[in-house]
Amino acid sequence: MGERFPAVTDVEVLQVLRKIGFVFYRRAKGSHEVWRRDSDGRHTIVPRQAGRAIERRTLKSILEDTGLTVDDFAASCSPHAVRVVSRLFLHGHAPRAADAPSAGPA
């Protein structure tokens, strides 16, 4: 994947953080959360954005805080989630609740 940052949602980021030992620590200002790993004291702040993709600059900061490389992060992510969100970005819009398939006929 090189140095290109994948487009992922907050849920995907949290799944990766849990896999590498981070736990929820506390709520931060607004819709942000602080996640911490007790083994080395590292912590990061994750914006909770209800299905929207996290900005690449923000993801870069999270990766720097956690000590992960882009390739390590991408390897830990669900390939389906990275592919779906990346495809949506190629078409010019971030995922929204309205983009989800309906539960049945209205």
pLDDT in the model for residue 102: 43
pLDDT score recorded for residue 35: 96
CATH of domain 10-92: 3.30.920.30
Residue-level pLDDT, tens digit, the chain, 106 residues: 445 666 788 998 999 999 999 999 999 999 999 999 999 999 999 999 887 888 888 988 999 999 998 888 888 887 655 554 444 444 444 444 444 444 445 4
DSSP letters for the chain: -TTPPP--BHHHHHHHHHHTT-EEEEE-STTEEEEE-TTT--EEEEE--TTPBPPHHHHHHHHHHHT--HHHHHHHS-HHHHHHHHHHHHTT----GGGSPPSS--
Domains of the chain, by residue range, sit at 10-92
- Please give the pLDDT value at position 66: 94
